[in-house]
Amino acid sequence: MGGQTSNELTNDAGFLLSKVTRRLKMQWSQKVAELNLSTVEAALIRNLASMPKMTARARARYLATDPMAVHRSLESLVEKGLCEKRETSNRRYDVTLTEEGERIADKVFAMSHEVWNEIESVIGRDRVESLKANLLAVDQFLENSNHLEHSVN
């Protein structure tokens, strides 16, 4: 059986990205749990604060998660008093942050900056900026190739 050596696996971009993502998600999950939020709820709060006019389906696409997870998390945020839903028309509704939701959003943004400032203090601003630029490029590529894949099927 062939397989990759330990060194090849360690240098594999997909493996590294997956490993770093898992570690960041575990760290982030612990941080947002202090606010009684899941990682999806924290992402939604940030999204609602920065992009208030967006459908639930568009939010799911933007956050790269499934629409049902967004729906459940939005319901949970409503129950927690962090956002409110207003029906508009045709089963559509607007979701907005409450004052408490805005306060929590500020805390979530601050926590995110804290995590990245800590990483930046170790690897440097240039590397963090380069990492973000590269991740954005990969994300854009994957989003475009995903659209192509769906249009072919």
SS3 98: coil
Backbone angles phi, psi at 22, to 5 degrees: -60, -45
- Structural domain of residue 88, as residue ranges? 26-152
Q: CA-CA distance, 66 to 43, in Å (whole number)?
A: 13
Q: Tell me the two tokens of residue 81.
A: 């008093």
The CATH number covering residue 123 comes to 1.10.10.10
pLDDT of 94 reads 84
31 inside domain:
yes
7 inside domain:
no
Q: CA-CA distance, 117 to 124, in Å (whole number)?
A: 9
71 inside domain:
yes
For the chain, how many structural domains are there in total?
1
Q: CA-CA distance, 52 to 126, in Å (whole number)?
A: 31
Question: What are the pLDDT tens digits along the chain (153 aa)?
Answer: 456 666 777 788 888 989 999 999 999 999 999 999 999 999 999 999 999 888 888 999 889 899 999 999 999 999 999 999 888 777 677 889 999 999 999 999 999 999 999 999 999 999 999 999 999 999 899 888 875 554 444
85 inside domain:
yes
20 inside domain:
no
Helix (H) or strand (E) holding 52: none
First to last CA, the chain: 34
Q: CA-CA distance, 49 to 97, in Å (whole number)?
A: 7
Amino acid code (one letter) for 95: V
pLDDT of 32 reads 96
pLDDT of 87 reads 80
